[in-house]
Amino acid sequence: MLIGVDFGGTHVKAGAVEGGEVLRSTSAATGSSASPDDVLDLIASTVLRLTPEPEAVGVAIPGEVDAEGRCWRLTNVPGFAGVHVAAELSRRLGGCPIAVENDATSAALGERLYGHGREHPSFLMVTLGTGIGAGLVLGHMLYPGANGFAGEFGHLNIDRSPDAPLCACGQRGCVEAFAGTKALVRRFKELAGSEPNEVLPIAESARRGEAAGLTIFSAMGDALGRGLSAVQNLLDLNAIVFTGGISGSLDLAEPHIRSALRAHTFAPPLAEVPLLASELGERAGIIGAAYLTTL
Ligand SMILES: [Zn+2]
């Protein structure tokens, strides 16, 4: 039995995983002012609730990690820069082996083992939400990158103009600045007057055929398609897999993603890459994390 932990920034979810299934799981919330030590203590206690003597634990975190399990930074949780997450957790869990990886990369490992990755040897798994992340699998192998930064799809530049929208990363014109949840909500407020706090009302507006919702999904699909054109020109993947909150509305964006791919890729086959919704969905994080310890 493997243990996978998905730390999302405000919640810790842990699951006992076997054969690609989550057998049982538990979760806990971190306080809004939790220090790294508080978070690490909570992850350890959550794991120990599942099993008193863990043999190996894989942990997905919302940031980048080097090959030794040291965190570069967590965008939404202060204080984690330079924290050796793997060593700190191992110390709290009786010295058991710990593998730590970026959450989008971990989710791609889950999909590679028990989702579309069984059929598609090379794919990008794009996580759509407030942030847009991605995990990359090449020739059945998870590719985290030399320093853990592979798959930062949300920060591909698709607009070099000086007034391009500002991204959370500090640059202008990133995919995320056009297709992340905040951008969609802001645009909906401009077009429809009301400010939803999530994407669902925007999708409902589009399904009712209203201009506001349709315009937003068209622009979102175009932004994703421009970014994916760069990915396809470089990698010629077998599939693009989507997960995260907005992925349930993928059908609304898909025609626009496809037409941007056809307009901007180097050759026709690159534009016809299958666009798929994740088979594992929300479970990909815990399942992928659990199998990090087997790599
Ligand atoms: Zn950015």
State pLDDT tens for residues 64-74: 999 999 999 88
- Cα 44 from Cα 38, distance rounded (Å): 10
Distance 63 CA to ligand 1 centre (A): 14
| Structural domains of the chain in order of their starting residue, each with its CATH number | 2-106+283-292 (3.30.420.40), 120-278 (3.30.420.40)
Distance 15 CA to ligand 1 centre (A): 32
With contact defined as beta carbons under 8 Å apart, do 140 and 112 qualify? yes
- Give me the chain's average pLDDT, please: 95
Distance 209 CA to ligand 1 centre (A): 31
pLDDT surpassing 90 at residue 261: yes
State pLDDT tens for residues 201-250: 999 999 999 999 999 999 999 999 999 999 999 999 999 999 988 888 99
Q: Quote the pLDDT of residue 133.
A: 94
pLDDT surpassing 90 at residue 83: yes
Distance 171 CA to ligand 1 centre (A): 5
∠ CA 252-257-259, nearest 5°, is: 110
Distance 285 CA to ligand 1 centre (A): 23
Distance 157 CA to ligand 1 centre (A): 8
Chain centroid to Cα 215, Å, comes to 25
Q: What is the DSSP letter of 152?
A: -
Q: Could you tell me what percent of the chain has a pLDDT over 70?
A: 100
Distance 77 CA to ligand 1 centre (A): 18
Residues 6+ apart with CB under 8 A from 230: 156, 158, 264
Distance 22 CA to ligand 1 centre (A): 33
State pLDDT tens for residues 158-195: 999 999 999 999 999 999 999 999 999 999 999 998 88
pLDDT surpassing 90 at residue 265: yes
Q: Quote the pLDDT of residue 159.
A: 97
User: What is the enclosing helix (H) or strand (E) of 261?
Assistant: helix 250-264
Residue 119's pLDDT band (boundaries 50, 70, 90)? very high
Distance 74 CA to ligand 1 centre (A): 15
Give the global pTM. 0.95
Chain centroid to Cα 167, Å, comes to 17
Distance 236 CA to ligand 1 centre (A): 23
